[in-house]
Amino acid sequence: MRNRHRQHTPAAAAVRGAVAAMSMSGMRELTVRAGLVEATPPEMISDEHAPEAVRRLPRRGRDVLVVLAHWAYGATGGVVFDRLPARIRDRLWAGPAYGVLLWLGFEFVVVPVGGLRFRQAAAVGQRLAFAADHLLYGAVLQGGLRGVSRR
């Protein structure tokens, strides 16, 4: 039986975080195609603040870099989550709450500090879509409902 309190290696935690970010990418594809989301946070950052060399790339190349950067950010988030104390990490709500906290960090730290136009233009539906995909990120990051207590 797996010890639920055990931390993973940083590489394993990074893979779990990257896979969780990939899950978010799938949900984002759905919300963009459904018209709920105009631009994702990584796209906004790259469109407004990417170095000139990145902005000169063809759109397809920029899109690939944005996705890879998002997966790398997700991988880093996986390592950070895995380093939380087991008494927090093992709670049923910990992964989804962690995902939402990352989103709120974007909303209330990255957007104002980076001067992104997102805050003024984002519709309620878009914010709900971002909250939902971050809940998904956290749930996948935590490994679904396996090995967590219901406390």
Show the 3-state SS of 9-27.
CHHHHHHHHHHHHHHHHHH
Q: What is the mean pLDDT of each run of 10 residues along the chain (151 residues)?
A: 64 94 92 85 80 87 90 96 93 95 89 72 80 95 64 55
Model confidence, pTM: 0.84
The predicted pLDDT at position 1 comes to 35
Instruction: Evaluate whether 89 touches 81 at the Cβ level (below 8 Å).
Output: yes
The predicted pLDDT at position 47 comes to 78
The predicted pLDDT at position 144 comes to 60
The predicted pLDDT at position 149 comes to 52
Query: How many CA atoms within 13 Å lie on the side-chain side of 60?
Result: 0
**d(C-alpha 91, C-alpha 51), whole Å:** 40
- Angle of CA points 146, 147, 150, to nearest 5°: 90
Instruction: Evaluate whether 148 touches 4 at the Cβ level (below 8 Å).
Output: yes
